[in-house]
A and B are shown apart, each in its own frame.
Chain A
């Protein structure tokens, strides 16, 4: 058990070390890619092996890290349970497919640049797998920050583009803001309970031995998830993160890293369950985020940004499910979403690769030029819209059922509306880019096999999970009987709106946006949230930085400068004592000896 889990974790790390230290290999580009792909392939094989033979109960391995008087303060180790194993397979699988896909997608890069890309990819795979396997909050935080670093590096992969560099910094700052809460929460939790360890904490939670008054602590820990999983109001970084290469968006900003926040909430769920107010907040914020992002996705014209807002929206669904005390529903949606959103992103990458633009207004009738890409994109879209019998239908229904069963009426209504909008904005993209009556310029053609195969694998998995769900029936959760019909009706309504507006052109999009009036304008301006964030950044953060800069420059440096000036002055004066004449030194020796003699007579 343990050696396999260590292999899952260790292979990408070894690949990273090799690529980071062996510069000639890294600069070779293709060689670096092979090393990285081989490592993540091995990691995937080990993860699958673990997943197919899951342990009967949770396996926890600990090694002492920071020793203290009464037992180690911090341990490192592995926490292997069924949820973790499923996540492990998801991460390894998507990372593997994305790395294979990148082989063709980034063929235009120079070899050193490609090597750099795969070095970061290996580091990311290691960090994300480590996050999943972490058995305590400290180790989780370390890997949490590492994936944040990889996200920063990969968003800014094309760092010579100012937009990419800015987006990378924005992503780093925004998630860091949440992480401040995360760190504070972890420390507060440690002060209250005296441990970081999940197993110990969950044991205390199960026995109702957790100390009272943890609400603030859990809220702060939740803030970490708000930043990482792009919940309102820290969602602003995710759409900008689309400046990175498309495979990166698929892996980090759709399937795995942004889901880390949801994963953390599901992992630490016994603790959140002990603080119902925080749980309620998670559900409400999740539902609100879902709706907010969905409205913004409806007016976005960049295909990747539509998908990014859709990711924010679906993360809201997951958080809402977690807040409704149904972590298994949240996790189910996380897995299915990870697969079909990676599929959508990679398919969008293939489209961008073929037509050379991100703007859906400049695409059209691509389904006929790119039949394979079009088919898999359609599969992803149907899954995301929640159409039976694809995977998204079952996970979304599980989320809705959980929220309904928790008695959260308003969030349920909000999420239902969001489900309608989801179908609408996704089919808007499909009709505009893949059908319609406008012909895209150039001669786009389907992606090469290296890119197509990962797409098909993800598409087949999306269908397979759905079909399995259809045969297995209602997966055990007690959904109201009318829920499947409602969710199908909502999805159909969404598709209908998109069909009438963008395909049949019975209603012009302009008329629709006029009818919605201020809402449309606000959504197009992203509700001014980006502007608010920018103002806060400029005013508060840069102001504070300037203040600290002044203190450093004039107070801290000032003390050092004054000390060195005094030393120079004293040295300059003492220098004059050294005349260089031998007789003066003899005189000094004689006088000194006499003084010593006199002193010895006085203090006898």
Chain B
């Protein structure tokens, strides 16, 4: 399998993630979509690291994983906070910034 296959896989995962982010009603679902998009990036990093024989990409992938964990922790905390206030996590109803 060449680099192309990995990149296609990453693009597919990214597209699925973006689709999830833009279409899911549930805030937790949106967070899952974001997770998919970040993992697509990780696949790209690792694939390029492998084919360029450089460790830098892998280091970045590790960083991304760590930051993703933090992001999910913050994201879920926000979702819980919203749920406590609004009694819902439906993204369609979270439109306080409506013009």
Contacts and interface: CB of A to CB of B under 8 A. Distances in A.
A586 B91 contact: no
B95 A581 contact: yes
Contact of B98 (A578, A586, A590): A578
A583 B99 contact: no
B97 interface: yes
Contacts of B96: 580
Interface residues of B, number: 13
Contacts of B97: 578, 580
A586 B30 CA distance: 11
A586 to B, nearest CB: 6
A576 B99 contact: yes
Contacts of B23: 583
A586 B97 CA distance: 14
Nearest to B96: A580
A583 B98 contact: no
B54 interface: no
A559 B74 CA distance: 53
B65 interface: no
Contact of A590 (B22, B30, B91): B22
B37 to A, nearest CB: 10
A583 B21 CA distance: 7
Interface in A569-604: 575-583, 586-587, 590
A582 B22 CA distance: 9
A300 B38 CA distance: 103
A577 B91 CA distance: 17
Contacts of A579: 95, 98-99
Q: Which of B30, B92, B94, B99 has the most CB of A within 10 A?
A: B99
Nearest to B97: A580
A579 B22 CA distance: 14
B22 A586 contact: yes
Contacts of B18: 586, 590
Interface in B19-47: 21-23, 30
Given A583-B30, A590-B18, A590-B22, A575 B92 contact: no
B20 to A, nearest CB: 10
Interface in B56-99: 91-92, 94-99
A576 B30 CA distance: 24
A586 B18 CA distance: 9
Nearest to B93: A581
Contacts of B98: 578-581
B95 A587 contact: no
A591 to B, nearest CB: 10
A583 B92 CA distance: 8
A305 B96 CA distance: 77
A575 B21 CA distance: 24
Given A581-B91, A581-B92, A586 B21 contact: yes
Nearest to B99: A578
Interface string B4-26: 00000000000000100111000
Nearest to B34: A586
A415 B91 CA distance: 100
A595 to B, nearest CB: 15
A584 to B, nearest CB: 8
A575 B98 CA distance: 8
A575 B94 contact: no
A280 B89 CA distance: 98
A576 B23 CA distance: 20
Nearest to B27: A582
A581 B94 contact: yes
Contacts of A586: 18, 21-22
Contacts of B30: 582-583
A581 B95 CA distance: 5
Contacts of B94: 580-582
A510 to B, nearest CB: 87
A465 B42 CA distance: 111
A590 B23 CA distance: 13
Contacts of B99: 575-580
Nearest to A591: B22
A576 B98 CA distance: 8
Contacts of B95: 579-581
Nearest to B23: A583
A325 B8 CA distance: 106
A590 B96 CA distance: 22
Q: Which of A575, A578, A583 has the most CB of B within 10 A?
A: A583
A583 to B, nearest CB: 5
A579 B96 CA distance: 9
A579 B30 CA distance: 18
Contacts of A577: 99
A494 B40 CA distance: 118
Contact of B22 (A575, A576, A580, A587): A587
A232 to B, nearest CB: 70
B9 to A, nearest CB: 20
Contacts of B92: 581
Contacts of A575: 99
A603 to B, nearest CB: 23
Nearest to A582: B91
A587 B22 CA distance: 6
A231 B20 CA distance: 92
A576 B99 CA distance: 6
Contacts of B21: 583, 586
A579 B97 CA distance: 7
Enumerate the 8 nearest inter-chain pairs by beta-carbon distance, A residue then B residue, closest first.
A578-B99, A580-B98, A580-B95, A580-B97, A575-B99, A587-B22, A581-B95, A583-B22
Interface of A: 575-583, 586-587, 590
Interface of B: 18, 21-23, 30, 91-92, 94-99
Given A582-B94, A586-B21, 8 more contacts: A578-B99, A580-B96, A580-B99, A581-B91, A581-B98, A582-B91, A583-B22, A586-B22
10 contacts: A578-B98, A578-B99, A580-B96, A581-B91, A581-B92, A581-B95, A581-B98, A583-B22, A583-B91, A590-B22
